Chain A
Amino acid sequence: MSSVGCSEPKVQPLCSNCSFDVAAGHLQGERQSAVCFCRNMGSSSSDMKTVPNSQELMEETGFSAAHLFRLYERFEFLDKDNKGHLRPEDFEAVQELSTNPIRDRIIGSFFPPGQETADFPTFVRILAHFRPTEKSRTRGDQPEPANSSTGKLKFAFQLYDQDRDGKISKDELLQVLRAMLEMQVTEEQLQSMAERAIQEADLDKDKAISFEEFRKTLEKVDTDQKMSSRFMK
């Protein structure tokens, strides 16, 4: 990845190379063609400063143009066959990810329910959860940005909550625990741990952790810090 292009805020709605109106290309196919077209124009990265929908994405996610560009490059790198979108296999191809115990969950979180693919905006929106929280960003009327502590917690929460019923059941917690602890403990120990965790967090006695309870258990934890990557600042 070159950082040459990063500092230049040349991201425009219009693709500077091919004059294709990328901002208008909301549909998958169109964007795909736009990307492909650009790529055909020049192979060196400095020629492709364009990122589809960049303006909107920047506003929505708070990423700087440089970040967005870097992520776009990464997106293209992951997108091995230039499909214009990523499939779970593309994520699984990342070498470092193979040792991550909960990689399936994380990969899964890039694919909203019912969707098989993740396009670039989705990709960026997910990663936006991990930008450090800005303290100044407290405009009340705006929807909560993804990198707020609530946003971060929500992301973590839905990793557990696989059936998306708004509650972490014991089984869901067990699955994650099992993944994280691998073979190191027995099933009963897992069980007891999960039970204890749920009892500890469960305030309304439904034997599951709702998001509010989840937030409550973690309120002493510096979520902003623990769920942020310095490199997305």
Chain B
Amino acid sequence: MRTLSSGDTMLLLGLMLLLLPAAAPTDQSGTGSPGLGSSPPVLLHPQPGPEEFGAPGVASARSAAEGPGEDGAEHHHHGGGFRVVQWEWTYVQTPYIIAIWLLVASVAKILFHFSQRFTTVVPESCMLILLGLVLGGIVLIANKKQLYQLDPALFFLFLLPTIVGDAGYFMPARLFFDNLGAILTYAVVGTLWNAFCTGFCLYAAKLMGVIDEHVQADLMDFLLFGALISAVDPVAVLAVFEEVHVNETLFIIVFGESLLNDAVTVVLYKVYISFVEVGGANVLTADYFKGVASFLIVSIGGTLVGLVFAVVLGFVTRFTKKVRIIEPLFVFLLVYLAYLTAELFSLSAILSMTFCGIGANKYVEANISQKSRTTIKYTMKNLASIAETIIFIFLGISAVDKSKWAWDTGLVSCTLVFIFVFRAMGVVGQTWVLNRFRLVPLDKIDQVVMSYGGLRGAVAFALVVLLDGEQVKAKDYFVATTIVVVFFTVMFQGLTIKPLVKWLKVPRATNRKPTINEEIHERAFDHILTAVEDIAGLQGYHHWRDKWEQFDRNYLSKLLLRKSVYRKSELWEAYQKINIRDAISVIDQGGNVLTSARLSLPSMASRASFPEVTNVTNYLRENGSGVCLDLQVIDNVPGSKVVEDVETHHVLAGNLYKPRRRYQSHYSRHFMPLGEKERQDREVFQRNMRIRMETYKSSRHKRHKKERSLKKRRGSDAKEDGGEKPRRNVSWQDKDPAVVPEDLEKDRAEQSDPEKEEDVGITFVVRKPETPKLRPKSVPAALDVCQRPSVVPLSPPTENSHLPWKGGVGSPPPCVSVEATKIIPVDLQQAWNQSISSLESVSSPPAPAEPVHPRVSALSRLGGPRPASYTGPVDALTSPSSFCFPERMKKKKKQEEEEEEEEPGASQELQPLMLPVRPPVLPPPPSPPLPPPATGRRRNPCVYLRSLVTAPPPGSGELHSRRPTQL
């Protein structure tokens, strides 16, 4: 069905070229002589004159960098004179126009978001369509002819896959499969019902004369139209529902339906097209059965193709250890190939891509590096966003094309009424049946939202444009009707669904990350239910899920996961993610944390009444387990000599910079070396943090007053802010966490750092202040909590922990969990160690129920505009500070360990394949990182320190430069 028709305009073809240069040979330029085919710039040349190709050696001698176009070459040959500046429009035309379009679309997006109030009311998709209408009008006026329109081939081959790929890959698998029954029902039964009813009723309307005579269509035509207009569109649903934030069950049902109904649409469309071709009268009974068989093949086949690619993808990413940089590429390519392959066999491409994404996600995410994960996430979101923008703009532009229009009020209004009525009827009927089986029934409000959320979009438009005008006489009428339907659903329903949802009080999505307790207990619940179902002899959902998980554990994971990650449990991963999130929030806050924590307790007048000292402190204490502070340092009172030594040492250690390298000696396109530069950055960062902590301790009393007055001034608006620190969760469903009360959005957007907004899960950990009365009582217990080192047996003797150089070989850092530690600058621990004695009180752990203290987030922003309070201390870098810094060496080691830690499993796994890169370094066992394995690498810390100061240590130098030099 979706044949690649050659694009109408240069732009559309050009966009294809941009996205997939390999497609270029289908372009006109592909007609060139074979000798030119190897030169990409020539391939992109829009209209090469044949005579230029005839000139031997002209094109091949030219490199892309020099870039004189063919025209220029011609002038050069004929005119003789050399031109300094040449106009090469034809050479760059296509990509240039594409780039300009993208730029316009992106700028438009920025402009929409200038007016916060406006964007909270009007969905972006509406704005884009309107913009498209305007642009289309301009083009039409300028050219008297519409140049651009949404080309089906472009849409199906490039725009749609980017959106579906993003949706599939980031689909929450558990939620999806939990509701798979409902999703499938709505997708298959619902779509069939809509298609047939709309088709038949339109035909009836035609017979009754409601639809004009000019619409030359019989039953088959109307059924065909019904088929293409009935499918809920994933692009529109995503665009609109993303801004509505209904609860996740509701969202996954509507969105899942819009994805999975693709198979039904494809089959119905194809079947009816063939029926229209042979004529309604000539259709045999067997053809109907063929249609059913075709549906099964298209849907199941598509799913299988997707799953096969998912397995391939998982398997490939197992071996990307040494080529981390192209990990994302594998993901994009294989997911895209899943789509194309399904399209190749005319199976359901959307199904294929969706299942490829869902299936591969778990394994891929486990296999690839953190940076690749981020890359994939942002690139996918980026592409999907661009594609969405283009789709909506072009929908608008396409509407302003008189030549394709044929208006019939009867047809349009009938279609609008029918699709809405049948959607509602279908939803109510199916829900009634489904609710008999569903654990959590879908109530009336859900049904209203589902009916109303049945948006039609670009898929319908592309399909209707693809119709053959010869076969389907009423094509122009259908096109016009489809455009109206799409506009109506996207704009009218998209605009009104938000107020509707609000008015109906539909449970909203909570943009919230699960706490560790939730993770643990929910897992326990699963086990309990599985056991109960087993005991009661019921082969229920949990029973089968458990069976699948066993299969996954025993076979699939072994096949698709690296050995190093295979053993890691999901719960542990979740735990680590939580830790990392918290750490990021601490680090991101930087100095602001301190301010906000203080300001969150405006009623406390004196320093003694700060039950929670800082967020950082709290965080560290609360995470004491994860960060594993070495608290024995505090527990024991060292001798004066030792103290002196320690101080001397740490003054030195803290203030001696390592010699810095100004430039990166190794430049590599293939690796992003994590070398000197980064270590130096880290050092600077740690220094700054430390100094901040120091100055904070000494000056917070003073500053507190200042803050308070300041707070009073800004208090009114700051206080109201619902406490929603903009947490940007760029997952599949909530691109834009608009959980904040709308009237405050403006405020928020202005004040908050946009970059922070982009970051995942910034969570404040702040608690309700304890009353001062309680404080004295709580101190001992709380202190005890924090002071318990998490691993007692591993803690070295006190002196050793004080004097790193006495630590000797083989004393592992007491802060055990390397994985957890690496996320925290150890200086924070250090600073905390320092401050703990001076902090009179430590308080309750953060209430997870209210992770965001209402005022903190607001006030943390206040910290932003006033960096002045921190610059002073930062400037004081060079002045010797008196804090001790016992863990510096450990940190060094830890950093090494951390780098090493990444290797173990994989290097083991790959050892037979590669040369021993670091023979003396024993890779730790693949099991989760224990400190002991690293002991082999540990040299005398004192020597080590000296070597650090004077020259890059041989070992670490090798370690750090290994990647770049490897090339």
Contacts and interface: CB of A to CB of B under 8 A. Distances in A.
B533 A106 contact: no
A100 B845 contact: no
A227 B440 contact: no
B534 A225 contact: no
B522 interface: yes
B882 interface: no
A146 B579 CA distance: 36
B521 A103 contact: no
B522 A189 contact: no
Interface string B505-537: 000001010011110111111111111111111
B660 interface: no
A88 to B, nearest CB: 12
Contacts of B571: 177, 180-181, 193
Contact of A130 (B532, B848, B928): B532
A199 interface: yes
A226 B541 CA distance: 12
Given A106-B532, A195-B624, A221-B522, A181 B569 contact: yes
Contacts of A189: 572, 817, 928
**Chain A's interface: helix, strand, loop or mixed, by majority?**
helix
A111 interface: no
B531 A106 contact: yes
A206 to B, nearest CB: 8
B348 interface: no
A91 interface: yes
B541 A230 contact: yes
A227 B628 contact: no
B565 to A, nearest CB: 11
A172 interface: no
A221 B781 CA distance: 30
A179 to B, nearest CB: 9
A41 to B, nearest CB: 23
A188 B536 contact: no
A77 to B, nearest CB: 7
Interface in B903-959: 927-928, 930
A188 B790 contact: yes
A218 interface: yes
Contacts of A132: 439-440
Given A221-B521, A229-B538, A230-B438, A192 B817 contact: yes
A136 to B, nearest CB: 12
B516 A188 contact: no
B626 A196 contact: yes
Contacts of B540: 229-231
Contacts of A185: 568-569, 572, 928
Q: Which residue, A96, A130, A180, A226, has most C-beta atoms of chain B within 10 A?
A: A96
B58 interface: no
Given A99-B550, A195-B790, A197-B516, A229 B533 contact: yes
Nearest to B627: A192
Nearest to A213: B517
A74 to B, nearest CB: 4
Given A216-B849, A217-B515, A217-B848, A192 B626 contact: yes
A233 interface: yes
Q: Which residue, B515, B531, B535, has most C-beta atoms of chain A within 10 A?
A: B535
Interface in A102-160: 102-103, 106, 110, 127, 130, 132, 155-156, 159-160
Q: Which residue, A217, A218, A232, has most C-beta atoms of chain B within 10 A?
A: A217
Given A91-B535, A100-B530, A201-B517, A220 B849 contact: yes
B542 interface: yes
A103 B536 contact: no
B626 A207 contact: no
Given A77-B537, A199-B845, A200-B622, A159 B524 contact: yes
B782 A193 contact: no
A66 interface: no
B835 interface: no
5 contacts: A97-B531, A106-B528, A191-B791, A229-B529, A232-B538
Given A201-B845, A225-B439, A226-B529, 15 more contacts: A96-B530, A102-B531, A160-B524, A176-B524, A181-B571, A188-B817, A192-B625, A196-B623, A196-B626, A200-B515, A200-B516, A200-B848, A219-B849, A227-B529, A231-B536
Interface of B: 437-440, 510, 512, 515-518, 520-538, 540-543, 546, 550, 567-569, 571-572, 575, 579, 622-626, 628, 778, 781-782, 785, 790-791, 816-817, 820, 844-849, 927-928, 930
